[in-house]
Chain A
Amino acid sequence: MPDYVLEVQNLDKIYGEGETAFSALKNLSFTVKRGEFILIVGSSGSGKSTLLNMIGLLDKPTRGTVIIDGVNTSVLNDNQLSSFRNSKLGFIFQFSNLLSDLTVLENVVLPRKIQGTMSGAMEEGKNLLKTVGLEDQMNKFANKISGGQAQRVAITRALINKPAIVLADEPTGNLDSVSAETTIQLLKSLNRKLHQTFIVVTHDRPQFGDVDKVITIKDGRIVEGELEVA
């Protein structure tokens, strides 16, 4: 098993061409160890969400390499990237991003259905929902639960395939303070309990308290001297 679950090497992302070209990420390099809880912080437009999209293989870098669990993802084709995202990555987005036409439990087990490994998935999904206190909501449609509950469902969905990394983009950005605090505590407890790697993008650094590492992005670069280790 490789030492690092994530290696980002010389990552550039340029949008547009010629005079309209805009460099969103500039020569970023860093590593993440297995089981770490990482925060990516920065002001609006700093490039933190762009970085998360590159790590999440949702967008392609202009230059540089993203190595996840020892696999150089730049050599993967579209289908391989889809399968890789399914098995190695879990996603939690700002707006819960559940499928409103599926029930809570169906949303949770969807990555397993996509993977085609449904054996025992329903039980696992129910157990995960019990862990986040939503066992009584599992048969409701996703648009019939609150924002805080939906975010907890998204967390269980991100975990169902036991991914190498869970990526969260402003997971508390759309929640009230109580739900936000609950969500943060849930993420941190899962990190400790499951030894699950989390990379969380946020603009509200203090909300998360102690974490393993903080990567501060400014104008597309990691700010020198602000790679904070707790």
Chain B
Amino acid sequence: MDYRAQIGIRFITRRKGSLIAASLAVAIAILVVQVNSVIFQGLYDAIVRDQINYRFGHVYITRQEDYITKSDFVLVNWLERIPYVQAAAPRLDSVAQINSTVNGQLIKDYQVPIIGVDPVLDKEASTIFTTVGQGEFVSFRNSIVLGALVARDLGNPQIGDTVKLKFKDRYGNDVLKRFTIVGITQTAGSVGLDNSAIINIDTLRDVIERPHESGAILVRLNDPSKAEDVKQLFLSAFPSNSDKFKAQTIEESAETTLRGFRSGIALINLVGYFGMMSSAFAVVTIQMMQVTSKTREIGIMRAIGSKRKDILLVFIFQGMVIGAIGAGLGTVLGIGYTVYAKETHMTFQGSLPLEVHYNWASIIQTDIMAFVLAVIASIYPAYKATKLEPVEAMRYA
């Protein structure tokens, strides 16, 4: 082993207090970045997951300015012939005034979003049916599933109760229709359809006078990485100049929801990296203490022939030891936390469960950054050590 590396390693490993303090500073900085990543990237990915599962699918097809008039049967069949497509289902959105009578008391009308779903196809393309906590998913024509927030605002009606909805059809006429509540849907963090009501798409089509029309087609893929391919395949098969279709991947369709969150993640990451800078200052301080405590040894080494650059390398090697141990420890702690978060489906106060992934690229990037920072933080103390004159250094007691 190179003697400068040997001395550097001995200097720091035989001062366990300094080694532990410096390595912990680096490890904690890595842990902060990892925890931030697990929580905030996990939250972001969870939102994306739920947006895919409940609202948009992996590819979301709409028509640029109007409802889709082409038969949903034709579109779904065409899409399901693509090998990457697991399922596709039509949806139709509208709004209605809703009221209910609970214990003989009329709960005041208010407007709620109405989602029309195909009871069979939607179960293949979306997992919104799994969020029905009480009762069952929509099935027959006059059944309705209320979002938990809607049910709460309606005074918590029971399964089997009826609600009255007032729609406006495409000509602006009011249409009144009574539905039987068959289920209540509730999602963690209310990111599902908790503020909406779900009914049979054919019922909605009839009520608003849009027979055979759809608002959108959700496409669920068995390989989400092929979303762009499916989108392009669809657009080339149904060119926008004739059908005026618009196809969006989840990144595009959920952009409004995700944009603000991405800025938040960037800010949080910045905080994590500032934490890493703080650890660099801790390394500088500990290395300066090391240089002071080793002044006499530096003098001896210079006296017996070490050059200034050799002294520099001794302390750079020390920094490498601190960086390597700190990065190793930080990675173990960070991965431990990630495993815990993943295995326990970590949530915060009933919010949506985090979508935790092992982001090896990010882990390695953080480790390298921490290691490099520890080495950089050692340069100034090392430089100070090289400036010591041997005769002065050896006088140091």
Q: A-side interface residues toward B, CB under 8 Å?
A: 53, 56, 58-59, 78-79, 82-83, 85-87, 91, 93, 97-102, 106, 110-111, 113-115, 157
Contact = CB atoms under 8 A, between A and B. Distances in A.
Interface in B263-308: 296-297, 300-308
A205 B194 CA distance: 99
B394 interface: yes
A101 B14 contact: yes
A89 to B, nearest CB: 8
B360 interface: no
- Nearest 3 CB-CB pairings of A with B: A86-B305, A113-B3, A101-B10
Contact of A82 (B305, B391, B394): B305
A58 B302 CA distance: 9
Contacts of A87: 305
Contacts of B328: none
Contact of B310 (A91, A93, A98, A114): A114
17 contacts: A58-B303, A59-B391, A79-B307, A82-B305, A85-B304, A97-B296, A98-B300, A100-B297, A102-B10, A110-B301, A110-B304, A113-B3, A114-B3, A114-B301, A114-B305, A114-B310, A157-B304
Interface residues of B, number: 22
A115 to B, nearest CB: 7
A86 B300 CA distance: 11
Chain B binding surface, main DSSP class? helix
Nearest to B304: A111
A99 B297 contact: yes
Contacts of A111: 304-305
Given A78-B308, A93-B394, A97-B394, A56 B303 contact: yes
B390 interface: yes
Contacts of A79: 307-308
B137 interface: no
B303 to A, nearest CB: 5
A99 B305 contact: no
Interface string B20-41: 0000000000000000000000
Interface of B: 3, 6-7, 10-11, 14, 296-297, 300-308, 310, 389-391, 394
Contact of B390 (A58, A110, A157): A58
A83 B7 CA distance: 19
Contacts of A83: 305, 307
Contacts of B303: 56, 58, 85, 91, 97
Given A82-B305, A85-B304, 11 more contacts: A56-B303, A58-B389, A59-B389, A82-B307, A83-B307, A86-B304, A97-B300, A99-B301, A101-B10, A106-B6, A115-B305
Contacts of A58: 302-303, 389-391, 394
A114 B391 CA distance: 19
Given A53-B391, A97-B296, A114 B7 contact: no
Contacts of B302: 58, 82
Contact of B304 (A53, A101, A106, A114): A114
Nearest to B13: A101
Contacts of A98: 300
A154 B294 CA distance: 18
Contacts of B308: 78-79, 82
Contacts of B297: 99-101
B83 to A, nearest CB: 64
Contacts of A78: 307-308
